Amino acid sequence: MIGYPNDTQQPVICPTLGFQAMPNQSQFNCHGFPDGTSGGPWLVDYDPHTGSGTVIGDIGGYETGGDYEYTSYSPYYGSSVLKLYVQAELNQL
């Protein structure tokens, strides 16, 4: 997970595992991941040398972060998000 907190000029990276917490919501746990990271990407296959990876979600979602400081959520990226992405890519041509 990569977030851009309110109080720094640099991104914060948290290598961790995400999981499906409930229907339509994924979750990850990472102590010390600060406020202000909403909207940051959830990436798989992240390469720190190139800064590339595959976006599978974004920080936000359920209860604006949950009940614990170390818990963050993302809306589940399913087929509707894929269709939107493909449409956006086609419109760029």
User: pLDDT tens digits, residue range 20-29?
Assistant: 888 888 888 8
pLDDT the model gives residue 87: 92
3-state helix, strand, coil in the chain (%, to 5): 20, 35, 45
Residue ranges of the domains in the chain?
A: 2-91
Global pTM exceeds 0.85:
no
Res 93 pLDDT > 70: no
Q: What confidence tens digit (pLDDT) does each residue in 39-67 have? A: 888 888 889 899 888 888 888 877 766 67
**Topology given in CATH for the domain delimited by 2-91:** Thrombin, subunit H (2.40.10)
Checking if the pLDDT of 34 tops 80, the result is no
Q: Which of the pair, 32 or 19, is modelled with greater confidence? A: 19
